[in-house]
């Protein structure tokens, strides 16, 4: 009897090496989706920087001297320093979660690793864009000029800045956690709905074939050899 358990699946072997040698239009769409995720993340980071510049508290300074231009915080123990970092963390969690959710709905569940790479790159870019835009939009552009032309004793509000750069990590953590978490829940749900004796054949996703049964070959249904032998023999009672 021929052993068919080692034969390749119909349509050819699902070798990753041979599959990778022929990139199709699916790969191009996946790369395009990753680029769009990065661009969309940059837009979200831009909006987040503007929001941060408007909601974060700013530290008040008083001009001490103009030679050189020097100013000191009127309240060195103010909570505005920590408040700016706190607002950044909140905005980073919300913005990162938004990136992960939108990326999963429109790209990750279709294109997988390429889209997740875009999520990682885009969320890191959004973190730095938010920091830079928030600093510039809160008055960093002309602050030195205002300080140099102010009279001693004048009060100024310094532009916000991120004191702890570890807060930048909240963007990729939130984005990756949301996109990866939704993907993990979906995968576990699909597995729970799959019969226990059915497993996916390697290359099923690439070739669009149905899974094969995990039942061992020797337990597969076989014809009854005794019945077929008795059917082929002439009846012993019938003699010429």
Tens of pLDDT, residue by residue over 115-144, are: 999 999 999 999 999 999 999 999 888 888
Angle at 54 between CA 48 and CA 59, to 5 degrees: 120
Burial of 81 (0-12, 13-18, 19+ CB in 10 A): middle
The Cα-based distances of 187 to 10, 32, 39 in angstroms read 26, 24, 28
**45 pLDDT exceeds 50?**
yes
According to the model, what pLDDT value does residue 120 have? Answer: 97
According to the model, what pLDDT value does residue 21 have? Answer: 44
- What average pLDDT does the segment 79-98 reach? 95
For 149-198, the pLDDT digits (tens) are 888 889 999 999 999 999 999 999 999 999 999 999 998 988 888 666 55
Mean pLDDT computed over every residue of the chain: 80
- Between 195 and 89, where is the model more confident? 89
Residue 27 has phi, psi (to 5 degrees) of -65, -40
- What average pLDDT does the segment 206-227 reach? 51
**236 pLDDT exceeds 50?**
no
Domain ranges across the chain: 32-46+57-202
> Where does the pLDDT of residue 208 fall: very low under 50, low under 70, confident under 90, or very high at 90 and above?
very low
- Between 188 and 228, where is the model more confident? 188
For 30, the 3-state DSSP assignment is helix
> Where does the pLDDT of residue 76 fall: very low under 50, low under 70, confident under 90, or very high at 90 and above?
confident
**232 pLDDT exceeds 90?**
no
| 171 within 8 A of 92, measured Cβ to Cβ | yes
According to the model, what pLDDT value does residue 16 have? Answer: 47
Alpha-carbon distance of 196 to 29, in angstroms, equals 34
Supply the pTM of this predicted model.
Answer: 0.69
- What average pLDDT does the segment 29-47 reach? 96
Residue % of the chain over a pLDDT of 70: 70
């Amino acid at each position: 009897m021929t052993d068919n358990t080692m034969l390749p699946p119909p349509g050819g072997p699902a070798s990753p090496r041979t599959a990778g040698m022929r990139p199709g239009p699916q790969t191009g769409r996946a790369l395009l989706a990753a680029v769009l995720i990065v661009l969309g993340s940059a837009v979200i980071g831009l909006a987040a920087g503007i929001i941060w510049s408007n909601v974060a508290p700013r530290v008040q300074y008083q001009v001490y001297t103009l030679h050189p231009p020097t100013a000191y915080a009127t309240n060195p123990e103010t909570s505005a320093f920590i408040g700016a970092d706190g607002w950044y963390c909140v905005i980073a969690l919300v913005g990162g979660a938004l990136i992960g959710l939108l990326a999963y709905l429109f790209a990750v569940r279709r294109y997988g690793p390429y889209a997740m790479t875009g999520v990682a790159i885009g969320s890191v870019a959004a973190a730095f864009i938010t920091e830079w835009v928030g600093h510039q939009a809160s008055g960093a552009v002309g602050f030195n000029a205002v300080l140099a032309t102010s009279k001693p004793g004048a009060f100024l509000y310094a532009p916000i800045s991120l004191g702890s750069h570890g807060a930048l990590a909240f963007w990729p953590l939130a984005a990756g956690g949301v996109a990866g978490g939704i993907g993990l829940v979906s995968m576990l749900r699909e597995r729970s709905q799959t019969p226990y004796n059915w497993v996916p054949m390697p290359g099923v996703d690439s070739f669009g074939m149905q899974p094969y049964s995990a039942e061992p070959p020797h337990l597969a249904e076989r014809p009854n050899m005794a019945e077929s032998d008795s059917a082929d023999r002439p009846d012993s009672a019938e003699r010429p």
